[in-house]
Structure 1
Amino acid sequence: MSEGEAASRVGSGGAEPRVDTPRIDISVAHPARRYDYWLGGKDNFAADRESGDAVAAAFPTIRTAIVENRRFLRRAVTHLARDFGVRQFLDIGTGIPTSPNTHQVAQSFAPDARIVYVDNDPIVLAHARALLTGTQEGATAYIDADLRDPDGIIAHPELRRTIDLSRPVGLMLVAILHFIADSDDPRGIVAHLVGALPSGSYVALTHGTADHMSAEESGVVTNASNGNVAVDLHLRTRRQFTDFLTGLDIVEPGVVPLAEWRADGEEQPRPSKEDVSMWGAVARVP
Protein backbone atom coordinates (compact mmCIF):
# COMPACT_ATOMS: atom_id res chain seq x y z
CA MET A 1 0.00 0.00 0.00
CA SER A 2 1.30 3.43 -0.88
CA GLU A 3 1.50 6.19 1.71
CA GLY A 4 -1.19 8.11 -0.11
CA GLU A 5 -3.49 5.07 -0.09
CA ALA A 6 -2.76 4.52 3.58
CA ALA A 7 -3.61 8.11 4.40
CA SER A 8 -6.88 7.85 2.50
CA ARG A 9 -7.97 5.01 4.79
CA VAL A 10 -7.61 7.01 7.97
CA GLY A 11 -10.72 6.96 10.10
CA SER A 12 -11.87 3.49 9.02
CA GLY A 13 -11.66 2.27 12.62
CA GLY A 14 -11.98 -1.48 13.02
CA ALA A 15 -11.49 -4.01 15.77
CA GLU A 16 -9.10 -3.26 18.59
CA PRO A 17 -5.69 -4.97 18.19
CA ARG A 18 -4.86 -7.79 20.53
CA VAL A 19 -3.06 -6.81 23.75
CA ASP A 20 -0.60 -9.35 25.22
CA THR A 21 1.43 -7.30 27.67
CA PRO A 22 0.53 -5.29 30.78
CA ARG A 23 2.98 -2.56 29.70
CA ILE A 24 0.40 -1.27 27.23
CA ASP A 25 -1.97 1.31 28.71
CA ILE A 26 -4.76 1.52 26.17
CA SER A 27 -6.53 4.27 28.11
CA VAL A 28 -3.80 6.78 27.19
CA ALA A 29 -2.90 7.73 23.63
CA HIS A 30 0.62 6.85 22.50
CA PRO A 31 2.41 8.81 19.72
CA ALA A 32 3.40 5.69 17.76
CA ARG A 33 -0.14 4.30 17.78
CA ARG A 34 -1.63 7.72 16.98
CA TYR A 35 0.81 7.99 14.05
CA ASP A 36 -0.37 4.56 12.91
CA TYR A 37 -3.98 5.77 13.05
CA TRP A 38 -3.21 8.82 10.91
CA LEU A 39 -1.57 6.55 8.33
CA GLY A 40 -4.63 4.31 8.20
CA GLY A 41 -3.20 1.45 10.27
CA LYS A 42 -5.07 -0.91 12.58
CA ASP A 43 -2.71 -1.03 15.55
CA ASN A 44 -4.35 1.70 17.60
CA PHE A 45 -6.97 2.03 20.31
CA ALA A 46 -9.88 4.34 21.08
CA ALA A 47 -7.67 6.76 23.04
CA ASP A 48 -5.26 7.00 20.10
CA ARG A 49 -8.07 7.69 17.65
CA GLU A 50 -9.71 10.26 19.92
CA SER A 51 -6.39 12.08 20.35
CA GLY A 52 -5.69 11.85 16.62
CA ASP A 53 -9.07 13.34 15.79
CA ALA A 54 -8.53 16.18 18.29
CA VAL A 55 -5.21 17.08 16.68
CA ALA A 56 -6.75 16.84 13.21
CA ALA A 57 -9.52 19.22 14.27
CA ALA A 58 -6.91 21.78 15.33
CA PHE A 59 -4.49 21.06 12.46
CA PRO A 60 -6.51 19.65 9.52
CA THR A 61 -3.46 18.82 7.40
CA ILE A 62 -1.84 16.57 10.02
CA ARG A 63 -2.21 13.53 7.76
CA THR A 64 -0.39 15.37 4.98
CA ALA A 65 2.40 16.13 7.44
CA ILE A 66 2.65 12.49 8.52
CA VAL A 67 2.81 11.20 4.94
CA GLU A 68 5.44 13.81 4.06
CA ASN A 69 7.48 12.80 7.10
CA ARG A 70 7.58 9.21 5.81
CA ARG A 71 8.57 10.43 2.37
CA PHE A 72 11.40 12.46 3.89
CA LEU A 73 12.67 9.31 5.64
CA ARG A 74 12.63 7.42 2.34
CA ARG A 75 14.50 10.19 0.52
CA ALA A 76 17.04 10.66 3.31
CA VAL A 77 17.86 6.95 3.54
CA THR A 78 18.07 6.78 -0.26
CA HIS A 79 20.65 9.55 -0.39
CA LEU A 80 22.63 8.14 2.52
CA ALA A 81 22.76 4.62 1.07
CA ARG A 82 22.96 5.39 -2.65
CA ASP A 83 24.92 8.63 -2.78
CA PHE A 84 26.91 8.76 0.46
CA GLY A 85 27.74 5.05 0.79
CA VAL A 86 26.28 4.57 4.28
CA ARG A 87 25.79 0.89 5.09
CA GLN A 88 24.70 1.09 8.74
CA PHE A 89 21.65 2.81 10.19
CA LEU A 90 20.43 3.52 13.72
CA ASP A 91 16.72 4.40 13.57
CA ILE A 92 15.49 5.70 16.94
CA GLY A 93 11.75 6.13 17.44
CA THR A 94 10.92 3.51 14.83
CA GLY A 95 7.17 3.59 15.18
CA ILE A 96 4.82 0.84 14.02
CA PRO A 97 6.20 -0.52 10.72
CA THR A 98 4.85 1.30 7.67
CA SER A 99 6.41 0.36 4.34
CA PRO A 100 8.87 1.41 3.13
CA ASN A 101 10.92 1.17 6.33
CA THR A 102 14.55 2.18 6.76
CA HIS A 103 15.98 -1.28 6.10
CA GLN A 104 13.83 -1.78 3.00
CA VAL A 105 15.07 1.45 1.45
CA ALA A 106 18.71 0.96 2.46
CA GLN A 107 18.88 -2.69 1.43
CA SER A 108 17.30 -1.95 -1.95
CA PHE A 109 20.55 -0.12 -2.75
CA ALA A 110 22.91 -2.11 -0.54
CA PRO A 111 21.69 -5.62 0.38
CA ASP A 112 24.44 -5.85 3.00
CA ALA A 113 23.15 -2.80 4.92
CA ARG A 114 22.72 -3.27 8.66
CA ILE A 115 19.95 -1.55 10.62
CA VAL A 116 19.15 -1.23 14.32
CA TYR A 117 15.67 -0.06 15.25
CA VAL A 118 14.96 1.48 18.66
CA ASP A 119 11.60 2.11 20.31
CA ASN A 120 10.06 1.85 23.77
CA ASP A 121 6.50 0.88 22.86
CA PRO A 122 5.78 -2.87 23.18
CA ILE A 123 3.36 -2.88 20.23
CA VAL A 124 6.07 -1.35 18.05
CA LEU A 125 8.62 -3.93 19.17
CA ALA A 126 6.26 -6.84 18.61
CA HIS A 127 5.57 -5.71 15.06
CA ALA A 128 9.22 -4.89 14.39
CA ARG A 129 10.37 -8.36 15.34
CA ALA A 130 7.64 -9.95 13.25
CA LEU A 131 7.76 -7.73 10.16
CA LEU A 132 11.08 -5.91 9.86
CA THR A 133 13.12 -8.71 8.34
CA GLY A 134 15.98 -7.82 6.05
CA THR A 135 18.09 -9.49 3.39
CA GLN A 136 20.30 -12.53 3.97
CA GLU A 137 23.36 -10.38 3.28
CA GLY A 138 22.40 -7.64 5.74
CA ALA A 139 21.04 -7.58 9.26
CA THR A 140 18.29 -5.98 11.32
CA ALA A 141 18.01 -5.75 15.09
CA TYR A 142 15.50 -4.25 17.51
CA ILE A 143 16.17 -2.59 20.86
CA ASP A 144 13.66 -1.79 23.60
CA ALA A 145 15.08 1.54 24.78
CA ASP A 146 14.24 5.20 25.30
CA LEU A 147 15.88 8.09 23.43
CA ARG A 148 16.34 9.80 26.80
CA ASP A 149 18.86 7.08 27.66
CA PRO A 150 21.48 7.45 24.90
CA ASP A 151 24.09 5.53 26.91
CA GLY A 152 21.74 2.57 27.12
CA ILE A 153 21.23 2.64 23.37
CA ILE A 154 24.89 2.97 22.42
CA ALA A 155 26.03 0.30 24.90
CA HIS A 156 23.25 -2.16 24.11
CA PRO A 157 24.66 -5.61 23.20
CA GLU A 158 22.28 -5.96 20.24
CA LEU A 159 23.52 -2.69 18.75
CA ARG A 160 27.14 -3.71 19.31
CA ARG A 161 26.51 -7.05 17.59
CA THR A 162 24.87 -5.43 14.59
CA ILE A 163 26.66 -2.11 14.03
CA ASP A 164 30.37 -1.39 13.90
CA LEU A 165 30.75 2.04 15.49
CA SER A 166 34.16 2.47 13.90
CA ARG A 167 32.42 2.76 10.50
CA PRO A 168 29.93 5.45 9.35
CA VAL A 169 26.37 5.23 10.62
CA GLY A 170 23.19 6.96 9.48
CA LEU A 171 21.41 8.16 12.64
CA MET A 172 17.69 8.62 11.97
CA LEU A 173 15.86 10.90 14.41
CA VAL A 174 12.69 11.35 12.40
CA ALA A 175 9.71 12.95 14.19
CA ILE A 176 11.00 11.93 17.62
CA LEU A 177 12.77 14.93 19.19
CA HIS A 178 9.55 16.93 19.51
CA PHE A 179 8.50 14.38 22.14
CA ILE A 180 11.52 15.23 24.31
CA ALA A 181 11.01 18.08 26.78
CA ASP A 182 13.65 20.77 27.27
CA SER A 183 14.05 19.51 30.84
CA ASP A 184 15.37 16.22 29.39
CA ASP A 185 18.06 18.11 27.41
CA PRO A 186 17.27 16.98 23.85
CA ARG A 187 20.26 18.87 22.44
CA GLY A 188 22.53 17.05 24.89
CA ILE A 189 20.97 13.72 23.88
CA VAL A 190 21.69 14.36 20.20
CA ALA A 191 25.24 15.50 20.98
CA HIS A 192 25.78 12.35 23.06
CA LEU A 193 24.61 10.07 20.25
CA VAL A 194 26.61 11.95 17.62
CA GLY A 195 29.67 11.78 19.85
CA ALA A 196 29.54 7.98 19.65
CA LEU A 197 29.62 8.02 15.84
CA PRO A 198 32.75 8.19 13.68
CA SER A 199 33.58 10.85 11.11
CA GLY A 200 31.63 10.33 7.92
CA SER A 201 28.43 9.42 9.73
CA TYR A 202 25.21 11.33 9.04
CA VAL A 203 22.22 12.50 11.09
CA ALA A 204 18.74 12.88 9.56
CA LEU A 205 16.29 14.98 11.59
CA THR A 206 12.70 16.11 11.33
CA HIS A 207 10.83 18.13 13.95
CA GLY A 208 7.44 19.75 14.39
CA THR A 209 7.34 23.55 14.49
CA ALA A 210 4.92 26.39 15.18
CA ASP A 211 6.93 28.79 12.99
CA HIS A 212 4.20 28.70 10.35
CA MET A 213 1.23 28.80 12.74
CA SER A 214 -0.42 31.65 14.55
CA ALA A 215 -0.02 31.74 18.33
CA GLU A 216 -3.63 30.63 18.67
CA GLU A 217 -3.19 27.72 16.25
CA SER A 218 0.00 26.47 17.92
CA GLY A 219 -1.66 26.65 21.32
CA VAL A 220 -4.63 24.61 20.13
CA VAL A 221 -2.39 22.01 18.45
CA THR A 222 -0.15 21.64 21.49
CA ASN A 223 -3.08 21.33 23.87
CA ALA A 224 -4.78 18.78 21.61
CA SER A 225 -1.54 16.82 21.24
CA ASN A 226 -0.80 16.77 24.96
CA GLY A 227 -4.25 15.91 26.25
CA ASN A 228 -4.46 12.30 27.48
CA VAL A 229 -1.27 11.36 25.61
CA ALA A 230 1.60 9.32 27.03
CA VAL A 231 4.20 11.81 25.72
CA ASP A 232 3.77 15.58 25.34
CA LEU A 233 4.53 17.48 22.14
CA HIS A 234 7.17 20.24 22.16
CA LEU A 235 7.18 22.34 18.99
CA ARG A 236 10.44 24.19 18.29
CA THR A 237 11.59 27.04 16.07
CA ARG A 238 13.95 26.80 13.12
CA ARG A 239 16.75 28.20 15.26
CA GLN A 240 16.12 25.64 17.99
CA PHE A 241 16.00 22.88 15.39
CA THR A 242 19.27 24.05 13.85
CA ASP A 243 20.87 23.98 17.30
CA PHE A 244 20.59 20.18 17.21
CA LEU A 245 23.05 20.25 14.31
CA THR A 246 25.71 22.38 15.99
CA GLY A 247 29.18 21.21 15.01
CA LEU A 248 27.92 19.18 12.05
CA ASP A 249 28.19 19.89 8.33
CA ILE A 250 24.64 20.43 7.07
CA VAL A 251 24.22 19.03 3.57
CA GLU A 252 22.33 20.80 0.81
CA PRO A 253 19.67 22.15 0.71
CA GLY A 254 20.15 22.91 4.41
CA VAL A 255 17.41 23.31 7.01
CA VAL A 256 14.17 23.48 5.02
CA PRO A 257 10.48 22.59 5.31
CA LEU A 258 10.73 18.81 5.17
CA ALA A 259 8.46 18.45 2.13
CA GLU A 260 11.05 20.46 0.16
CA TRP A 261 14.15 18.45 1.14
CA ARG A 262 15.56 16.97 -2.11
CA ALA A 263 12.00 16.45 -3.33
CA ASP A 264 12.47 16.98 -7.09
CA GLY A 265 11.25 13.43 -7.75
CA GLU A 266 8.07 13.81 -5.71
CA GLU A 267 4.66 14.77 -6.97
CA GLN A 268 4.36 18.48 -7.68
CA PRO A 269 3.36 20.92 -6.38
CA ARG A 270 4.77 20.12 -2.97
CA PRO A 271 2.65 20.70 0.16
CA SER A 272 3.10 24.13 1.68
CA LYS A 273 5.23 24.74 4.77
CA GLU A 274 2.03 25.73 6.57
CA ASP A 275 0.37 22.40 5.75
CA VAL A 276 3.30 20.33 7.02
CA SER A 277 4.79 22.57 9.74
CA MET A 278 7.95 20.50 10.17
CA TRP A 279 11.62 21.18 9.58
CA GLY A 280 13.95 18.65 8.00
CA ALA A 281 17.69 18.37 7.50
CA VAL A 282 20.58 15.94 7.05
CA ALA A 283 24.06 16.68 8.38
CA ARG A 284 27.45 14.99 8.21
CA VAL A 285 29.64 14.24 11.23
CA PRO A 286 33.02 15.86 10.41
Structure 2
Amino acid sequence: MVNLLRRGVRCFQAEPLAPGWRPDPEVIWIDLLKPTRDEELAVEAALGIDLPTPQEMAALEPSSRLYQENGATFMTATLLAHSQDGVPTATPVTFVLSRGLLVTLRYEELRAFSVFSERAPEGDVGSGTAALLGLLDAIVERLSEILDQMGDAVGEASVGIFERPAAGDFKPLLTQLARTQSVTSMTRNSLVSFSRLLSYATLAPEIAGDPDCQAHLASLQRDTQSLTEHASFQSSHIAFLLDAALGLINIEQNGIIKFFSVVAVVFLPPTLVASVYGMNFHHMPELDWKLGYPMAIAMMVASAVLPLLWFKRRGWL
Protein backbone atom coordinates (compact mmCIF):
# COMPACT_ATOMS: atom_id res chain seq x y z
CA MET A 1 0.00 0.00 0.00
CA VAL A 2 1.26 3.48 -0.87
CA ASN A 3 0.29 6.47 1.31
CA LEU A 4 1.02 10.03 0.28
CA LEU A 5 1.25 13.10 2.48
CA ARG A 6 0.81 16.38 0.65
CA ARG A 7 1.78 19.84 1.76
CA GLY A 8 -0.93 21.38 3.94
CA VAL A 9 -2.83 18.08 4.39
CA ARG A 10 -3.27 16.61 7.86
CA CYS A 11 -3.25 12.89 7.07
CA PHE A 12 -2.12 10.25 4.60
CA GLN A 13 -4.00 9.61 1.40
CA ALA A 14 -3.82 6.15 -0.15
CA GLU A 15 -3.16 6.26 -3.87
CA PRO A 16 -2.79 3.49 -6.48
CA LEU A 17 0.31 3.75 -8.64
CA ALA A 18 -0.38 3.39 -12.34
CA PRO A 19 2.38 2.74 -14.90
CA GLY A 20 4.40 5.90 -15.47
CA TRP A 21 3.26 7.42 -12.16
CA ARG A 22 5.01 10.56 -10.98
CA PRO A 23 4.46 12.35 -7.64
CA ASP A 24 2.90 15.79 -7.98
CA PRO A 25 4.85 18.78 -6.58
CA GLU A 26 2.69 18.93 -3.45
CA VAL A 27 3.75 15.45 -2.30
CA ILE A 28 6.33 15.65 0.48
CA TRP A 29 6.16 12.11 1.91
CA ILE A 30 5.67 8.72 0.23
CA ASP A 31 5.02 5.97 2.76
CA LEU A 32 5.32 2.40 1.46
CA LEU A 33 3.53 0.04 3.86
CA LYS A 34 3.89 -3.63 2.91
CA PRO A 35 4.29 -2.60 -0.75
CA THR A 36 3.99 -4.96 -3.67
CA ARG A 37 6.92 -5.33 -6.03
CA ASP A 38 5.09 -3.28 -8.68
CA GLU A 39 4.61 -0.42 -6.23
CA GLU A 40 8.31 -0.50 -5.32
CA LEU A 41 9.30 -0.43 -8.99
CA ALA A 42 6.95 2.48 -9.68
CA VAL A 43 8.47 4.57 -6.89
CA GLU A 44 12.00 3.63 -7.93
CA ALA A 45 11.32 4.65 -11.53
CA ALA A 46 9.65 7.91 -10.50
CA LEU A 47 12.47 9.00 -8.16
CA GLY A 48 15.45 7.33 -9.83
CA ILE A 49 16.50 5.40 -6.72
CA ASP A 50 16.87 1.75 -5.74
CA LEU A 51 14.95 0.85 -2.59
CA PRO A 52 16.60 -1.73 -0.33
CA THR A 53 15.22 -5.25 -0.18
CA PRO A 54 13.87 -6.67 3.11
CA GLN A 55 17.09 -8.69 3.42
CA GLU A 56 19.21 -5.56 3.05
CA MET A 57 17.03 -3.71 5.55
CA ALA A 58 17.52 -6.51 8.10
CA ALA A 59 21.31 -6.63 7.63
CA LEU A 60 23.41 -5.53 10.59
CA GLU A 61 26.27 -4.00 8.61
CA PRO A 62 26.18 -0.17 8.77
CA SER A 63 27.08 -0.03 5.07
CA SER A 64 23.81 -1.82 4.25
CA ARG A 65 21.70 0.37 6.50
CA LEU A 66 23.24 3.85 6.22
CA TYR A 67 24.48 5.08 2.85
CA GLN A 68 24.10 7.70 0.12
CA GLU A 69 23.35 6.84 -3.49
CA ASN A 70 22.30 8.89 -6.52
CA GLY A 71 21.91 12.01 -4.39
CA ALA A 72 19.59 10.26 -1.91
CA THR A 73 20.33 9.44 1.73
CA PHE A 74 19.22 5.97 2.86
CA MET A 75 18.81 5.33 6.59
CA THR A 76 17.46 2.13 8.14
CA ALA A 77 16.63 1.62 11.82
CA THR A 78 15.10 -1.27 13.71
CA LEU A 79 11.95 -0.15 15.50
CA LEU A 80 9.54 -1.84 17.90
CA ALA A 81 6.09 -2.85 16.62
CA HIS A 82 3.03 -4.28 18.39
CA SER A 83 4.32 -3.39 21.86
CA GLN A 84 0.81 -3.35 23.34
CA ASP A 85 -1.19 -5.77 21.22
CA GLY A 86 -0.09 -9.14 19.97
CA VAL A 87 3.53 -10.26 20.07
CA PRO A 88 6.11 -7.43 20.20
CA THR A 89 8.42 -7.58 17.20
CA ALA A 90 11.44 -5.66 15.95
CA THR A 91 10.99 -4.50 12.37
CA PRO A 92 13.40 -2.59 10.09
CA VAL A 93 12.21 0.73 8.69
CA THR A 94 14.00 2.60 5.91
CA PHE A 95 13.94 6.40 5.57
CA VAL A 96 15.02 7.88 2.25
CA LEU A 97 15.55 11.60 1.84
CA SER A 98 15.84 12.45 -1.84
CA ARG A 99 15.84 16.03 -3.10
CA GLY A 100 13.59 17.23 -0.31
CA LEU A 101 11.15 14.32 -0.66
CA LEU A 102 10.79 11.76 2.13
CA VAL A 103 10.20 8.08 1.32
CA THR A 104 9.63 5.52 4.07
CA LEU A 105 9.59 1.75 3.57
CA ARG A 106 8.16 -0.54 6.25
CA TYR A 107 6.42 -3.88 6.59
CA GLU A 108 4.62 -3.43 9.92
CA GLU A 109 2.08 -0.95 11.27
CA LEU A 110 3.82 1.56 13.53
CA ARG A 111 1.94 3.79 15.93
CA ALA A 112 4.40 6.68 15.57
CA PHE A 113 3.68 7.00 11.84
CA SER A 114 -0.08 7.22 12.17
CA VAL A 115 0.13 9.57 15.18
CA PHE A 116 2.44 11.98 13.37
CA SER A 117 0.42 11.99 10.15
CA GLU A 118 -2.81 12.64 12.08
CA ARG A 119 -1.57 15.40 14.34
CA ALA A 120 0.63 17.34 11.91
CA PRO A 121 -0.94 20.82 11.83
CA GLU A 122 -1.79 22.31 8.49
CA GLY A 123 1.07 24.24 6.96
CA ASP A 124 3.64 23.06 9.53
CA VAL A 125 5.02 20.26 7.38
CA GLY A 126 6.17 22.02 4.24
CA SER A 127 8.91 19.69 3.00
CA GLY A 128 10.19 16.16 3.17
CA THR A 129 12.96 17.29 5.52
CA ALA A 130 10.43 18.78 7.92
CA ALA A 131 8.36 15.60 7.66
CA LEU A 132 11.44 13.50 8.46
CA LEU A 133 12.31 15.57 11.53
CA GLY A 134 8.71 15.51 12.73
CA LEU A 135 8.52 11.76 12.22
CA LEU A 136 11.78 11.25 14.12
CA ASP A 137 10.29 13.30 16.96
CA ALA A 138 7.19 11.08 16.97
CA ILE A 139 9.32 7.92 17.05
CA VAL A 140 11.33 9.16 20.05
CA GLU A 141 8.11 10.11 21.85
CA ARG A 142 6.63 6.70 21.09
CA LEU A 143 9.69 4.85 22.42
CA SER A 144 9.59 7.06 25.52
CA GLU A 145 5.90 6.23 25.99
CA ILE A 146 6.64 2.51 25.73
CA LEU A 147 9.35 2.80 28.39
CA ASP A 148 6.92 4.68 30.65
CA GLN A 149 4.32 1.94 30.23
CA MET A 150 6.90 -0.73 30.98
CA GLY A 151 8.01 1.26 34.02
CA ASP A 152 4.44 1.29 35.34
CA ALA A 153 4.22 -2.48 34.77
CA VAL A 154 7.49 -2.98 36.63
CA GLY A 155 6.20 -0.89 39.54
CA GLU A 156 3.03 -2.97 39.78
CA ALA A 157 5.02 -6.20 39.64
CA SER A 158 7.39 -4.94 42.33
CA VAL A 159 4.51 -4.21 44.70
CA GLY A 160 2.94 -7.59 43.95
CA ILE A 161 6.18 -9.48 44.58
CA PHE A 162 7.04 -7.93 47.91
CA GLU A 163 3.47 -8.02 49.18
CA ARG A 164 3.37 -11.75 48.43
CA PRO A 165 0.64 -12.82 45.96
CA ALA A 166 -2.37 -14.73 47.22
CA ALA A 167 -1.72 -18.46 47.63
CA GLY A 168 1.91 -17.82 46.72
CA ASP A 169 1.11 -17.84 42.99
CA PHE A 170 4.02 -15.97 41.39
CA LYS A 171 3.30 -17.20 37.87
CA PRO A 172 1.29 -14.13 36.68
CA LEU A 173 3.94 -11.78 38.07
CA LEU A 174 6.79 -13.71 36.49
CA THR A 175 4.94 -13.75 33.16
CA GLN A 176 4.37 -10.00 33.38
CA LEU A 177 8.02 -9.36 34.23
CA ALA A 178 9.23 -11.60 31.42
CA ARG A 179 7.12 -9.73 28.85
CA THR A 180 8.20 -6.39 30.29
CA GLN A 181 11.85 -7.41 30.07
CA SER A 182 11.40 -8.51 26.46
CA VAL A 183 9.72 -5.25 25.43
CA THR A 184 12.26 -3.14 27.33
CA SER A 185 15.15 -4.99 25.70
CA MET A 186 13.69 -4.53 22.22
CA THR A 187 13.03 -0.85 22.98
CA ARG A 188 16.65 -0.38 23.98
CA ASN A 189 17.82 -2.08 20.78
CA SER A 190 15.54 0.25 18.82
CA LEU A 191 17.02 3.26 20.58
CA VAL A 192 20.58 2.14 19.81
CA SER A 193 19.70 1.58 16.16
CA PHE A 194 17.82 4.87 16.03
CA SER A 195 20.81 6.70 17.54
CA ARG A 196 23.00 5.53 14.65
CA LEU A 197 20.39 6.79 12.21
CA LEU A 198 20.33 10.22 13.87
CA SER A 199 24.10 10.50 13.65
CA TYR A 200 24.09 9.65 9.97
CA ALA A 201 21.13 11.92 9.19
CA THR A 202 23.35 14.95 9.82
CA LEU A 203 25.23 14.05 6.62
CA ALA A 204 22.16 14.33 4.39
CA PRO A 205 22.57 17.25 1.95
CA GLU A 206 19.17 18.70 2.94
CA ILE A 207 20.23 18.77 6.61
CA ALA A 208 24.00 19.31 6.56
CA GLY A 209 23.71 22.97 5.55
CA ASP A 210 20.80 23.87 7.82
CA PRO A 211 21.79 24.89 11.39
CA ASP A 212 18.22 24.53 12.63
CA CYS A 213 17.99 20.94 11.38
CA GLN A 214 21.38 20.17 12.88
CA ALA A 215 20.27 21.54 16.26
CA HIS A 216 17.03 19.56 16.03
CA LEU A 217 18.95 16.32 15.41
CA ALA A 218 21.37 17.09 18.24
CA SER A 219 18.41 17.47 20.59
CA LEU A 220 16.98 14.16 19.41
CA GLN A 221 20.35 12.49 19.95
CA ARG A 222 20.45 13.72 23.56
CA ASP A 223 16.91 12.47 24.15
CA THR A 224 17.76 9.10 22.61
CA GLN A 225 20.87 8.74 24.76
CA SER A 226 18.88 9.56 27.88
CA LEU A 227 16.19 7.02 26.99
CA THR A 228 18.84 4.38 26.26
CA GLU A 229 20.32 4.85 29.72
CA HIS A 230 16.86 4.69 31.26
CA ALA A 231 16.11 1.45 29.39
CA SER A 232 19.36 -0.05 30.66
CA PHE A 233 18.47 0.89 34.24
CA GLN A 234 14.97 -0.52 33.82
CA SER A 235 16.37 -3.80 32.50
CA SER A 236 18.61 -4.04 35.57
CA HIS A 237 15.63 -3.37 37.83
CA ILE A 238 13.61 -6.09 36.12
CA ALA A 239 16.49 -8.54 36.52
CA PHE A 240 16.61 -7.71 40.24
CA LEU A 241 12.86 -8.29 40.58
CA LEU A 242 13.11 -11.61 38.78
CA ASP A 243 15.88 -12.69 41.15
CA ALA A 244 13.84 -11.47 44.13
CA ALA A 245 10.76 -13.38 42.98
CA LEU A 246 12.76 -16.56 42.48
CA GLY A 247 14.35 -16.06 45.91
CA LEU A 248 10.93 -15.72 47.55
CA ILE A 249 9.72 -18.83 45.74
CA ASN A 250 12.74 -20.73 47.05
CA ILE A 251 12.07 -19.48 50.57
CA GLU A 252 8.45 -20.66 50.41
CA GLN A 253 9.50 -24.02 49.00
CA ASN A 254 12.12 -24.38 51.72
CA GLY A 255 9.45 -23.62 54.34
CA ILE A 256 7.22 -26.35 52.92
CA ILE A 257 10.08 -28.84 52.78
CA LYS A 258 11.06 -27.91 56.34
CA PHE A 259 7.51 -28.56 57.56
CA PHE A 260 7.37 -31.99 55.96
CA SER A 261 10.86 -32.79 57.26
CA VAL A 262 9.80 -31.97 60.83
CA VAL A 263 6.64 -34.04 60.47
CA ALA A 264 8.66 -36.97 59.13
CA VAL A 265 11.19 -36.78 61.97
CA VAL A 266 8.42 -36.51 64.60
CA PHE A 267 6.51 -39.53 63.34
CA LEU A 268 9.48 -41.71 62.42
CA PRO A 269 10.51 -42.82 65.98
CA PRO A 270 6.90 -43.64 67.08
CA THR A 271 6.47 -45.58 63.85
CA LEU A 272 9.63 -47.54 64.64
CA VAL A 273 8.39 -48.40 68.14
CA ALA A 274 4.98 -49.42 66.83
CA SER A 275 6.63 -51.54 64.13
CA VAL A 276 8.77 -53.37 66.68
CA TYR A 277 5.81 -54.29 68.83
CA GLY A 278 3.68 -55.06 65.82
CA MET A 279 5.84 -58.05 64.90
CA ASN A 280 4.22 -61.44 65.39
CA PHE A 281 7.08 -63.38 66.97
CA HIS A 282 5.93 -65.96 69.56
CA HIS A 283 8.62 -65.20 72.12
CA MET A 284 8.41 -61.48 72.94
CA PRO A 285 8.71 -60.83 76.71
CA GLU A 286 6.76 -57.58 76.62
CA LEU A 287 3.65 -59.30 75.23
CA ASP A 288 2.95 -60.86 78.64
CA TRP A 289 3.53 -57.69 80.67
CA LYS A 290 0.49 -55.97 82.11
CA LEU A 291 2.13 -52.60 81.60
CA GLY A 292 3.49 -53.47 78.16
CA TYR A 293 0.86 -51.53 76.26
CA PRO A 294 1.16 -48.30 78.36
CA MET A 295 4.95 -48.62 78.13
CA ALA A 296 4.81 -48.79 74.32
CA ILE A 297 2.50 -45.75 74.18
CA ALA A 298 4.83 -43.84 76.51
CA MET A 299 7.85 -44.74 74.38
CA MET A 300 6.09 -43.52 71.21
CA VAL A 301 5.09 -40.21 72.85
CA ALA A 302 8.58 -39.70 74.27
CA SER A 303 10.23 -40.49 70.91
CA ALA A 304 8.02 -37.84 69.26
CA VAL A 305 8.41 -35.12 71.94
CA LEU A 306 12.16 -35.39 72.50
CA PRO A 307 13.10 -34.51 68.85
CA LEU A 308 10.72 -31.52 68.96
CA LEU A 309 12.38 -30.25 72.16
CA TRP A 310 15.80 -30.75 70.62
CA PHE A 311 14.83 -28.84 67.43
CA LYS A 312 13.42 -26.00 69.51
CA ARG A 313 16.55 -25.78 71.63
CA ARG A 314 18.71 -25.62 68.53
CA GLY A 315 16.52 -22.87 67.06
CA TRP A 316 15.37 -24.92 64.09
CA LEU A 317 11.68 -24.34 64.87
Q: TM-score, normalised by structure 1?
A: 0.28
> RCO (CA 8 Å, sep 6+): is it higher in 1 or 2?
1
Larger radius of gyration: 2
Higher helix share: 2
